[in-house]
Structure formats: structure tokens, C-alpha cells
Structure 1
Amino acid sequence: MLTLKNDYLTAQINPLGAEPTSIKDNETGLEYLWQADAKYWGRHAPILFPIVGRLQDNEYRVADKTYKMTQHGFARDREFTTTEQSADRVVLRLTADTESRLLYPADFSLTMTYELVDHQLKVNATVTNPADTGLDFSFGAHPGFNIPFGDATADFTDYVVTVAPKQTYQRIPLVGPYSDSEHSLPIDLSRPMGLTHDLFEHDAQILTLTNPETTVMLSTAADDHGVALTTTAPYLGIWSPYPKQAPFVCLEPWWGLADDVKATGDLATKVAINHLEAHQDFNASYQITCF
């Protein structure tokens, strides 16, 4: 486990999956990240690559050849190499190998950078295409946050999600595990979204983000603690497992979506896919502010 520390926070990053496993307040010891109780969900904040969500029949095609890949891709279960480390910053990298090419026939490099700056954990992902041909992929993050935070007596339903800018967004419904982008519906987020477990009866709430930057805050009037996630991602998933009534919620910046209900299986035409030309880089970032 890799430990980052500054004057305010201590974070731990697991090289397996380059996954953050803890963000603690140094003064109070308050833990912000979900601690992977397998009774509810056995992960903390996995990386989603090279797909977000689920493929139809867990299959896709590249150049008329069919490949199998399970939900959210394989990066979350692969060992990353630590390439740089200091007291408050670490860089980890995953590159294509024989094992990955059985699932995903592409050369790639995925570099994850984590840095503590004051009360923030800053996260940057860089996807590099080292090949002479194009690269199709999705990327996302899946951090879970404790509800309540610390020893607070607040209930799940005492928490709200506030989205800034405050406006009406488009919400993409899911049909089973698949996106139904054609039937997006407006959702008024000029006021905070109250949390209930029933909100997730049909899986994640998925928002289309059209602003240059969006901040999503998880907080309660019952105490002063919460988190804010700021990102440039085009989509945001809000999720808690239903009907388990789990004591956490995930705020998930996504650069990609699950297969559409009308997906053809061709990776190049997959909904919300990212395409990198030869020898180009793609950057994705988000920041978690703890208070």
C-alpha cells in the first residue's frame, strides 16, 4: 500500500488497480472513503478502463473479431507499476501485455497520478496510444464515500447531493445494465437531490454534464463534514447498491457509458467512446475535496 500525506490528509493507494483505499483527516481521523465491506460492495474507488459499465453479452468486436470483457474492464484488477513517489504524490502506470491483449487487442499506457494538495486529493489519468493505429476506449472512476462520515448520527436519508452549476441536467436511464440515451429525461438540480435507497432501485443515476467543470457535493445539515468532487467529465454516475441499504454512495466521473440498448457490438461505434489517434494522449481529471 502506498501512503500519501500532507498537513491535512492521509491517503492510501493500492498498486493493485491503482485504487485509492483511504482518505483520512489527520486531525480527527475521520475516514471519507468507503472501506470495502464485502457485505455491500467489496471495493473502495476502482478505476474503470477500457470500458465503463457493461457490454451487451459481455462481448464486443474489433476488426470482425469478438472479445469478452466484463463490467468496467480489467484495469481495476491489474497490478500497476509505481513510477514516481514522494510524500504527497504518486504516479502509477499500466501498459498493454500478453494478458491484456486477450481481452483488449490494443497497445496502450494508462498512467494514474494522485496528489494531495491541502484538503484535496487530485487525480489525473493519462491514456497514451503508442501505436501507429487508432485506440478506442472509455475511462471512469468509481469512488465510494461513507454515509454517515465518521461517528455522525445522521442517516442515509439526511444526506443530499448538490450539483453545481445548479441547473436542469439530462438523466440517462438504464434498461437493465444498458444505457438508453435516446430517452434521456430532464432532472431539475437547481435544488439538492435528497438521497434515499429507493433512488437506486434501477441502478445508478446518470447525468450528462455539459459545463466545462462540474462540482458534486455530498453533505448533510446534521454535521459539518462532507466531500465535493469536481471534474471535467461528460457524465456522472451516482450509485449505491439496491436493495442492500448500504451506508455509502459513489460519485463517479465517467468518460464513457455502458453499451446502449441498441449497441451493435462494434467498439469503434460504441456510445460515448473515446478515440485516440496514433501517438496521442488523452487526459481525464477529478478532485476530491474533504471537509
Structure 2
Amino acid sequence: MTTILKNNKLTAAIDHHGAELISLKSSNTREYMWNGNPEFWGKHSPILFPIVGTLKNNSFHYENNDYHLTRHGFARDMDFEVIEANDERAIFSLSRTNDTLKNYPFDFQLQIIYTLKETNLSISYLVKNFGKRAMPFSIGAHPAFALPLKFKDYEIEFEQEEPLEYHLLKNDLISQETQKLNLQNKKVKLNYDLFALDALIFKTIQSKKLTILENKKPLLKVEYEDFPSLGIWTKISAPFICIEPWFGYSDVLESTGDLLLKEGIQILEPNATFQSIFTIKIL
């Protein structure tokens, strides 16, 4: 099942499976989202919840019990309920089930709210804790944007000229080894060598707006004001780039497995609601 949002400038399609944005087209029919070709990567824009990235041994400890969670959590692989939909707004909801409790012992509700306005698509995350205990979680975005020209024809412009240090992955976990991303006039030219060691993972980042440029011309912008962390990723030779605002990231190599002590984890008190928003702006 798919829900379509549409105005006179943009059309967005959201798959009920994973509440995943699978298409974002302008009125001239240009497609901005990656098509999900499994030859490279079979997703478009998955929701990462209740973890972002990979847990050490794909497991965590909580109250003397061990639980198993695969990479990026389960939300992206579950069917969401549509609780509201009109031409320019749709709300998707996922709540705990007997199956989720086996791997994540918390009484949660996750809502994804898509809102279309002019040439902007905003995606809001609402996480509610209906349980009696504090609930640790992470949440993140993973949109893949189509790059139909040669990869080298694209640049990413950061909001600020800043020292950008990213952590390297080792066996899908975050190591202490870092590298610097050098900007020129706040921009980095895309090349696949940047991703030879997997994603660029910024635990903290000052820039809260990133612009993709195509042959020096602004194509689209991702704004993520309240997200502390960011990933940038592609597969070698793939014609897409992912710009991923996150609350949380993969376990570090030294992780003890205690979910409450996990680096980057969010803690939501009973009966509390977490909310964040990021926006894709077509330029």
C-alpha cells in the first residue's frame, strides 16, 4: 500500500511498509529519490528505530536480560498504520507488539508525519513512551537521493566552514580512528574514494543544513536543526548519496552492551513524548 501526497510543485509517495518515502517528484517529473535498485541497495529512505546502526554482537543488555536487534532496528521492516491522510499530510503509526517486545521490551508508539508544503517535504518523528520505565532509544533518517549524472558532477555544501572529523567503522562498529573531511568554500566534491571505508559518521556536527549541488547548481537541501549526529554514505559506483540525520549511531568497539549506557542513546521518561523534524527542500 502507498499513500500519495501532492501539490502543484511536488508529489511524494510513502510506502506503508516501513513508512518509507519511496518517491519525491517535481512537477517536471524529475525524481529526487533513489529507485531502490537492489544491485546497489534495495531501500529508498528507511526509518531507523529503535537503534541506529549496528549493536555489538547484534545484542544489548537490559535488566539482566539479553535482547537481539539487527542493524538499524525493526521499524523499517514493519507495516505502519495510516491514522490520518489528506493531499499534503499523512501520519503513520507503529506500536509495540508481542513480537517487538521479544527484542525491545518497551511500550512505545512511533509516529512518522509527512507534510508537503510548496517545494518542501518535512518529516516529523514522534516517539511516545507508554511504559512505566525510562525507555532508551535511537532514531534516524536514511534518505537516498538520486544522482543521475556522473558522481563527480555533484558536491555537498555544508552550512558552515568547520573542522569535520568523522569516525571510521570497523566490523560495522565505530572505532576511535578518525579522519578529517576537508572543505573548500564549505563544499566537498563527491568521489567514491571518500566512501572506500564505508560511511562518514559525524558524532557531532555544527552544520544543520546540507545542500547537494549538481554541476555547481543547488539541487536540494536537507535541514535537520535538532539532530546531533549525521551520516553520509553511498555504495561504491552507486548513483545516489544518503544524507542521514541521527539521534544515535552504531555501538563503539568498546561497548559493554548496556543499552542505558550506550553512546548517543536517548532516554525517554514514562508518559513522555520525543519529537524531531527534518526537511527536504527542492531548490
Shorter-normalised TM-score: what interval?
over 0.9
The Cα shift of 1:185 comes to 4.6
Q: TM-score, normalised by structure 2?
A: 0.95
Residue 172 of structure 1 aligns to a residue whose secondary structure is strand
The Cα shift of 1:179 comes to 1.2
The Cα shift of 1:188 comes to 3.8
Match of 1:177 in 2: 172
Task: Name the aligned partner's letter for residue 67 of structure 1.
Answer: Y
Match of 2:260 in 1: 268
Distance 1:104 1:208 in 2: 24
Match of 1:217 in 2: 211
> Which sections of structure 2, spanning at least 5 residues, go unmatched?
none
Q: Deviations over 1:86-120 (max 9, x none)?
A: 11000011000101111111110101000111111
Task: Name the aligned partner's letter for residue 222 of structure 2.
Answer: L
The answer on whether the counterparts of 1:167 and 1:188 sit within 8 Å (CA) in structure 2 is: no
Distance 1:143 1:276 in 2: 25
Match of 1:18 in 2: 19
Task: Name the aligned partner's letter for residue 258 of structure 2.
Answer: D
Q: TM-score, normalised by structure 1?
A: 0.92
Task: Name the aligned partner's letter for residue 30 of structure 1.
Answer: R
Identify which range, 225-234 or 128-137, moves more after superposition.
225-234
The answer on whether the counterparts of 1:147 and 1:156 sit within 8 Å (CA) in structure 2 is: yes
Runs (4 or more) in structure 1 with deviation over 4 Å come to 182-186
Task: Name the aligned partner's letter for residue 101 of structure 1.
Answer: L
Distance 2:9 2:41 in 1: 28
CA shift in 2, pair 1:289/1:188, >3 Å? same
The answer on whether the counterparts of 2:159 and 2:186 sit within 8 Å (CA) in structure 1 is: no
- Please say if 1:229 is aligned against 2:230: no
The Cα shift of 1:210 comes to 4.4
Name the % identity.
34
Distance 1:43 1:32 in 2: 14
Q: Deviations over 1:114-156 (max 9, x none)?
A: 01111111010011111121000000010001112xxxxx310
Distance 1:120 1:166 in 2: 25
Distance 2:82 2:120 in 1: 21
Residue 194 of structure 2 aligns to a residue whose secondary structure is helix
Residue 57 of structure 2 aligns to a residue whose secondary structure is helix
Residue 101 of structure 1 aligns to a residue whose secondary structure is helix
Match of 1:151 in 2: none
The Cα shift of 1:17 comes to 0.4
The Cα shift of 1:290 comes to 1.3
Residue 283 of structure 1 aligns to a residue whose secondary structure is strand
The Cα shift of 1:271 comes to 1.1
The answer on whether the counterparts of 2:144 and 2:242 sit within 8 Å (CA) in structure 1 is: yes
Q: Deviations over 1:268-288 (max 9, x none)?
A: 111100001111111121000
Distance 1:278 1:135 in 2: 7
Residue 123 of structure 1 aligns to a residue whose secondary structure is strand
RMSD between aligned alpha carbons?
Answer: 1.4
The Cα shift of 1:178 comes to 0.8
Match of 2:195 in 1: 200
Task: Name the aligned partner's letter for residue 177 of structure 1.
Answer: D
The answer on whether the counterparts of 2:205 and 2:230 sit within 8 Å (CA) in structure 1 is: no
Distance 2:73 2:115 in 1: 24
Distance 2:171 2:197 in 1: 8
> Which sections of structure 1, spanning at least 5 residues, go unmatched?
149-153
